[in-house]
């Protein structure tokens, strides 16, 4: 704990299982295993009078929980997951617009970068069909979360994929956003990562769908992309066409283009 007094709690045997062999004597050492691996705690866990006594922070953090010490009430709070009301408070304190957000549309998710042992919280606010906000919070050394990225985006989905460049694995975060207005509907892909300086970088964005209607015609662009790990490249292609709304027939020829990008200094740059 961060205070001088060492707090200990009596733990039942479940979750992070405690393995005992034979008949335990009073105050005999105990080894705690978390997912099959022994917990390094300097032999502080003991078996006393039929119960396991162990330092709460070591055990809780080993199973991915957060531990907070309240000096006023002399109590410990163990939190197993990020709460929406907690993230709302972060946004109010750190967001660009402070209280001017539609918090009824808030949803959050903890995102783990197992490759670099980093933890993030992604949060999005869904407003109207094309309105929203997106936030990335990064866990700091003191267990707090710092806002490192914010955009006025309506985010439909996100995910993570490791991307290899010159033999180096980079966790690449994939987002799909939606925007538009009257007669316009746009979906875009965004690829992002956190560089070695802790900066959140948007490496590339491209159109997945762009549909607009004007003068009884529908203009449509459909696109897609693929990461090529073998050469550290990104391939992007799109097809563009115009359709008459009077007879639902295509006007003229459809046009398809393909572009190849290489990863340079944190961004995908189109190759000549």
The per-residue pLDDT for 187 is: 97
Ranked by mean pLDDT, which of 11-15, 144-148, 178-182 comes out on top?
144-148
If you average pLDDT over every residue of the chain, what do you get?
82
The per-residue pLDDT for 9 is: 39
Place of tokens 């733990």: 11
| Residue 16 neighbours by CB distance under 10 Å | 17
Q: Is the dihedral of CA 178, 179, 181, 183 positive or negative?
A: negative
Taking the model in full, what pTM does it have? 0.72
16 or 180, greater pLDDT: 180
The Cα 115–Cα 78 span in angstroms is 26
β-sheet bridge partners, residue 138:
120, 146
Q: For a pLDDT cut of 90, what percent of the chain falls above it? A: 54
59 or 113, greater pLDDT: 113
65 or 110, greater pLDDT: 110
The Cα 247–Cα 196 span in angstroms is 55
Helix (H, G, I), strand (E, B) or coil at 216: coil
Average pLDDT over residues 63-87: 72
The per-residue pLDDT for 20 is: 38
Helix (H) or strand (E) holding 28: strand 28-29
The per-residue pLDDT for 94 is: 96
CB distance 206 to 221 below 8 Å: no
The Cα 218–Cα 209 span in angstroms is 13
Total number of residues shown for the chain: 272
**Residues 14-37: pLDDT tens digits?**
333 333 334 445 556 667 676 666
Helix (H) or strand (E) holding 119: strand 118-126
74 or 184, greater pLDDT: 184
**Residues 109-166: pLDDT tens digits?**
999 898 888 999 999 999 877 899 999 999 998 889 999 999 999 999 999 999 998 8
Helix (H, G, I), strand (E, B) or coil at 236: strand
- pLDDT value at 256 more than 70: yes
Give, in order, the Cα–Cα distances in Å from 13 to each of 20, 51, 52, 54, 181.
Answer: 10, 9, 8, 11, 56
Structure tokens at 18: 């405690």
CB distance 47 to 31 below 8 Å: no
β-sheet bridge partners, residue 5:
none
């Amino acid at each position: 704990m961060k205070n001088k007094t060492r707090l200990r709690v009596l733990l039942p045997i479940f979750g992070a299982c405690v393995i005992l062999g034979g008949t335990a004597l009073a105050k005999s050492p105990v080894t705690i295993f978390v997912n099959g691996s022994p917990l390094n705690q300097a032999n502080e866990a003991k078996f006393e009078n039929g119960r396991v006594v162990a330092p709460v922070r070591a055990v809780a953090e080993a199973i991915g929980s957060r531990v907070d010490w309240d000096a006023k009430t002399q109590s410990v709070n163990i939190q197993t997951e990020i709460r929406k009301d907690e993230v709302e408070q972060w946004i109010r304190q750190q967001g660009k617009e402070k209280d001017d957000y539609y918090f009824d549309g808030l949803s959050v998710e903890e995102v783990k970068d197992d490759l670099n042992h980093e933890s993030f919280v992604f949060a999005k606010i869904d407003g109207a069909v094309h309105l929203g906000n997106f936030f990335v919070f990064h866990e700091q050394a003191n267990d707090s979360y710092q806002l490192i990225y914010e955009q006025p985006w309506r985010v439909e989905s996100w995910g993570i994929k490791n991307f290899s460049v010159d033999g180096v694995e980079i966790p690449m975060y994939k987002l799909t956003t939606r925007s538009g207005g009257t007669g316009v509907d746009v979906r875009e892909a965004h690829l992002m990562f956190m560089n070695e300086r802790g900066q959140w970088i948007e490496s590339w964005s491209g159109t997945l769908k762009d549909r607009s209607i004007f003068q009884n015609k529908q203009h449509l662009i459909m696109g897609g992309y693929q990461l090529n790990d073998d050469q550290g490249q990104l391939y992007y292609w799109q097809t563009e066409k115009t359709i008459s709304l009077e007879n639902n027939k295509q006007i003229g020829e459809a046009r398809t283009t393909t572009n190849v990008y290489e990863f340079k200094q944190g961004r995908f740059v189109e190759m000549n």
